[in-house]
Structure 1
């Protein structure tokens, strides 16, 4: 993952965050990644919050401490330019990260309820992704139009089930910022009114979070109907 893209996505919200008066709570992110390839561990997170964002390391051990109003997406990275990144969520409390750099994607993260939400969501989608991948591959095994139509029908059904899973996750997790990013993934699949309803189903705390404020500003132009209107107006 290109770190320039990560930094752009994270810091675009800085001016919003610094103007909001959320109370701050302490957090600690501590751990050890065996085989860490650089002499520095970086923690890139949203906002200009108090706390060190890089630490020197000789054996992959690291500790970051600071204060933050609530859960926010962050990345543990090897270097600022062209670094390798691992998504996590910084939130009040003590978070531990341990594992091997050889399996960086699957390092163990404990103490982060929001990361647990993310894993739950990812595993749910993987079930549908695997089924859809099977039918995508099967398309190349036949030229029978009747069989192909059945494959397309199965793909459409699985896609709709995947969308319903997203909607159900959001409704069951009104207090998680993971639901905000999931709403964004549905912008090409749902009408604007459906996206607005999902956003409104979230808790006030999440809607007024930095991520929630940014999404609310984009919401009026989100949805497949809004995209069609934009195309027609060109």
Structure 2
């Protein structure tokens, strides 16, 4: 009996320890040439309702700024500078640096994040090329209103390209079930697949991601 009680206490303690370890102390150090002393905002999207949140803010000093936080889970964040267009988006999975210039702020480089590097690789190799071609096709269709032959050709090409892109996304997810990037990809593309196929991909993701707030929302969508 004593042994059973001890085992139960040990399991509960381990569960508490794991939940505490899910939190992560992280830092982002920014150095943006020419930024001056403007306000800089740290933002993210609430995974429960997709609403943007201002998480923190600070004033840059000679273009330098720092955000230090204890985050409940690894997730996407973005940095916005007052008066400048665009944002710098990244996955906060450790201590990172952000380097760039005021004139090209949105193109600032985030270093130190393996997940962000993988996400940008996907963007450059799979997302952006298809998005650009599909946009060109959309423009062709808009310019040729009333021309059935062109409209049919564009529709066939769009269908082919979307199917090709979806196949590459599915391959990426299935080949990397232990990468959190696969969770994000499935969240973005799940409605491009039959729900049963999307659910099967979700079920094969690492169990370590299933407690993530994004995974919980995705699970509800896939019911």
Query: Where on the TM-score scale, by shorter chain, does this alignment land: which range?
Result: 0.7 to 0.9
**Secondary structure of 2:152's match?**
helix
- Whichever of the two has the greater Rg, that structure is 2
For residues 176 and 165 of structure 1, what CA distance do their matches in structure 2 show? 16
1:36 and 2:35 are equivalent in the alignment: yes
Q: d(CA) in 1 for partners of 2:96 and 2:69?
A: 12
1:167-213 Cα deviation digits (max 9, x unpaired)? 12222332333322322322432221111111112111122223222
User: Match for 1:196 among 196, 199, 203?
Assistant: 199
Q: How does 1:2-151 map to 2 (within 5 A)?
A: 21-23=19-21, 24-36=23-35, 39-45=38-44, 53-68=56-71, 70-78=73-81, 85-92=87-94, 94-123=95-124, 124-139=126-141, 140-141=143-144, 144-151=147-154
Structure 1's unaligned 5+ residue stretches are 1-19, 221-234
TM value normalised by structure 1: 0.71
1:164 aligns with 2:167: yes
Contact kept, 8 Å, 2:37 with 2:62, in 1: the verdict is no
Relative to 1, partners in 2 of residues 1:136 and 1:210: Cα closer, same or farther, differing over 3 Å? closer
Q: Please, what is the CA RMSD of the aligned residues?
A: 2.9
Q: Helix, strand or coil: the match of 2:131?
A: helix
Instruction: State how far apart, in whole Å, the 2-side matches of 1:84 and 1:31 are.
Output: 16
| Structure 2, unpaired ranges of 5+ | 1-17, 47-54
Aligned to 1:8: none
- Of the structure 1 ranges 168-177 and 115-124, higher mean CA displacement relative to structure 2 is found in 168-177
* TM-score under structure 2 length normalisation: 0.74
1:107-148, CA deviations, whole angstroms, 9 ceiling, x for partnerless residues? 111111111122122111111122222322333248553343
Asked if structure 2 preserves the Cα contact closer than 8 Å seen for 1:37 and 1:78, the reply is no
Asked if the contact 1:199/1:207 (under 8 Å) is kept, the reply is no
Cα distance, 1:106 vs structure 2: 1.5
SS at match of 1:21: helix
Cα pair 2:36 2:60 within 8 Å, conserved = no
2:59, 2:129 → 1: CA distance?
Answer: 39
